[in-house]
Amino acid sequence: MQYNQSEFLIETIVPKNELIVSRTDLKGNITYANDTFAQISGYSIDELIGKPHNCVRHPDMPKKVFKELWDSLQKNQSWSGVIKNLRKDKGFYWVYAQISVVKKSNQIVEYKSVRTPISFEDKMKYQKLYDDMKIQNNEKRRVISYI
């Protein structure tokens, strides 16, 4: 997918008192999204349900972060970290994500993600870290950075 780098310059700030919550099936398709997730991502809840959760994956995110996330979940472990997400309008928002497995009768049946806002300083730190990771892994990265 081709992106125009100027599309990615508008940030949506996640309100301090809000939680973004979603659940996915084992393949990563969204089965539940709260109103805050819909509002911040720019999608309606109906648009989110059934879509792969990676519909909000920002191209600035290194592939390695999601490999570690999925490796943890496959080992029945939770994962947490900072993620830059893509809005429907091609803007972005930053969150601290905590993702865990949901079990029934000792079997994983879905994944649950709770996201919270992060500080401006953390956004700057992680943008630089992710830009560096993409360079190290020879991944395509943006030409413009707001650091």
Domain count across the chain: 1
- Flag whether 145 is in a domain: no
Q: Per the domain annotation, does 138 fall within a domain?
A: no
Percent with pLDDT over 70 in the chain: 89
Residue 147 lies in a domain: no
pLDDT at 139 over 80: no
Cα separation, 46 vs 59, whole angstroms: 24
Structural domain span for residue 10 = 5-131
Residue 9: what pLDDT? Answer: 73
141 located within any domain: no
- Domain for residue 143, yes or no? no
Report yes or no on 119 lying in a domain: yes
pLDDT of residue 8 exceeding 80, the answer is: no
State the CATH number of the domain containing residue 22: 3.30.450.20
Render pLDDT for 32-91 as a digit per residue (tens, 0 to 9).
Answer: 999 999 999 999 999 999 999 999 999 989 999 999 999 999 999 999 999 999 999 999
